[in-house]
Structures are given as C-alpha cells and as structure tokens.
Amino acid sequence: ADYDAAIAGYFTPKEEGLPPRLGLAMERVQTLRYGENPVQRAGLYVTEEPRGMRDLAQRQGKELSFNNLLDIDAAMWAVACWANRPACSIIKHTTPCGIAVAGAAAEAFRKARATDPVSAFGSVIAFNTVVDQATAQAMSDLFVEVVVAPSFHDEALAVFAAKKALRVVELPVSRGARALDYKRVRGGFLVQDQFEFDPSDQDWAVPTERRPSEREWTDLRFAWAAVASVKSNAILLARDERAIGIGAGQMSRVDSVFLAIHKARQEQHEVSGSVLASDGFFPFADGVEQAAAAGVTAIVQPGGSVRDAEIVEAANRHDIAMVVTGHRQFRH
C-alpha cells in the first residue's frame, strides 16, 4: 500500500494543480513516550522527502519528545531563509521568543537571547550554520531543552557534554523540497502548497511620503523574514537585525502591536527608532498610531486593506516610512 501510494503521488501530473486523490506513505522511525500531552500516544513517522526529519541525527541527550520535535521543526524553519548569514532562533511552543542574524553564530545567539531572556529558559535553539566552541560556551549558562544545527565542531560537543540532559541534534537547514503541506481536520486533511519565503524585494512598494533610510531598509528586510515564523496575528519589532519585541498569536492585530511594544520595553530595549513588521495588513489605523506613539520609524506590511489609504495617511502624519510587500505571511 505504501509503494502504491508513493507511485501514485509520483505520477500525478503537476500541471493539473492539486491531485484528486492523495496517498500518504510514511514509516515510523521512533515511538515517543507520549504526545503533546501524557494521555496521547505518539510516534515520529517520516516520508521520503529529502533533507527532512529522516535525516535527523541526535548526538547526545535525553530522548526527544513530541513537543521537542515540533519545536525543532519550527526552529529550523525560522532560520532557513538566511542562506548566507549566521542566524539563530530561540523557540517556545513553536514560536520565536528571539531571533537574530550576525557575522558569527555566537553573536547571533547573544542577540537572539537578548530579545526575551526570560522566555529563552527551557527553549529549543536553532542555528543555520555550524556551531563552534565559542557558540557553545555562550550558551553554557542557559537551560536549554534542545540545540539543533546542521553540524557541530568537536570542541562544541565537548562543551555540551557537561550537560548530560541537553539534546544535541543535527538536521539539514533546508526548509525541504517543494512539497504539499497537510493540516489535519476532522475526517480529512486540508492540503496546500508548502509556504516558501520569498527574499526578493523587487515588487515592494513605498506608498508613504518618506522612503526608508538605508539602516531602516536593512532592518525591514530582516523583520519581514523573521515575522514569517511568528504565529498570526504576528508583529515583530526589530533593530540592528534582531528582534526586540514579538507580539504573537493575538486575536486582534492592534493587541499584537501592543504586546510587541510591551515585551520590548519589559527588557529595556529602545523602541524609538525601531522598525515593525506585520504578517498581515492593518485593518485599521490604530496599529500604526500605537507604533508611532512608541517611536517606530518604519513599517513593512503586505497591504490589501480596504482602509489602506487611511493606513498610509496615518504613517505620513507621523513621518513613518512604510513598505508594502503585496503578499501576506500567515502562520497558524
């Protein structure tokens, strides 16, 4: 049956869009102690997809749990869009509480941890580059559930060995081959194309009177990439290519703006002069007004609201540079 499903999937004409029938062929490679909660049975099943969980290799530590694996996947997804820069994500409950890029992995970790050092306790931390001794030493005073990266220097593994319970995992950094994404619903699955972050800014537009400065452009590009890994409604404040405040999973966008500002101020980050990324359009001008009151100077968002003119007018009123990308990045 697995063979038949794989063959049927292979020969389904791609140009026809989603196929009328789908078969899932998966192999159980690990039985887990329990699922998301102790009352749930669980296992890790993998497909033939390259550069995925099939290629996971645990170098040390306790057995991986169901929730560990969810967070590992989210953490590696979060750093995968930076192909040429060391990046670090710090994940709790599949959402970043810190994310940054830098010239070296150790510095990326320090910047990411500074986003919200309290929430970083008990996290899963991912890197898109090799972890060296300096990076491992920078993490030595923090309790971490899992550290995951494409590879580790032997000197880094020696540092991690002092923490016997720490799970050290190697996993390819790629977001995987272009594939279908499955969401379980009652009696079936919702199926969609796997979301792929588009790093190009060629189609971005600036509808405001003021264009972003060079520094703002750098942080806007970072913030737009980073907010893609935050649960909707998602707002991310950034400065110097690191998140300084994250508002995730709120039912109203203005509340996510409030939360991002609150979290930044809680850690004494300077909000004034920062930039803001929103994964969806602003339905009202209130989110822009709140950002302006906190000192945000530039915003990147997809646009598409029936009140776009009001949103741009509010930005102009506060001398905010606004960039419209033309596509949203919801994550549920």
Residue 140: inside a domain: yes
Q: What is the pLDDT of residue 243?
A: 98
Report helix angle 286-294 to 308-317, nearest 10.
20
What's the rounded Cα separation, in Å, for the pair 216 and 208? 14
Contact (CB, 8 A) for 325 and 203:
yes
Regarding whether 182 and 221 lie in a shared domain, the answer is: no
Domain that holds residue 192: 56-196
| C-alpha distances out from residue 58 to 54, 69, 126, 137, 157, Å | 12, 12, 14, 20, 12
Q: What is the CATH number of the domain that holds 118?
A: 3.40.140.20
What's the rounded Cα separation, in Å, for the pair 165 and 291? 42
Q: What is the pLDDT of residue 5?
A: 53
Question: Six-digit token pair at 254?
Answer: 């203005």
Residue 134: inside a domain: yes
Residue 329: inside a domain: no
Residue 331: inside a domain: no
Residue 202: inside a domain: no
Contact (CB, 8 A) for 107 and 127:
no
Residue 207: inside a domain: no
Residue 294: inside a domain: yes
pLDDT per residue of the chain (332 residues) written in tens, 0 to 9: 454 554 455 445 454 688 899 888 899 999 999 999 999 999 999 988 877 899 999 999 999 999 999 999 999 999 999 988 999 999 999 999 999 999 999 999 999 999 999 999 999 999 999 999 999 999 999 999 999 999 999 999 999 999 999 999 999 987 655 678 889 999 999 999 888 887 778 889 999 999 999 999 999 999 999 999 999 999 999 999 999 999 999 999 999 999 999 999 999 999 999 999 999 999 999 999 999 999 999 999 999 999 999 999 999 999 999 999 998 888 88
Question: Six-digit token pair at 46?
Answer: 């993998």
Question: Six-digit token pair at 89?
Answer: 């994500």
Regarding whether 106 and 36 lie in a shared domain, the answer is: no
Regarding whether 180 and 255 lie in a shared domain, the answer is: no
| C-alpha distances out from residue 149 to 93, 111, 217, 267, Å | 19, 17, 28, 27
Q: What is the pLDDT of residue 331?
A: 83
Regarding whether 287 and 263 lie in a shared domain, the answer is: yes
Regarding whether 220 and 266 lie in a shared domain, the answer is: yes
| Domain total in the chain | 3
Regarding whether 233 and 147 lie in a shared domain, the answer is: no
What's the rounded Cα separation, in Å, for the pair 65 and 63? 6
Through-space distance between the first and last CA atoms of the chain, rounded to whole angstroms = 32
Regarding whether 126 and 69 lie in a shared domain, the answer is: yes
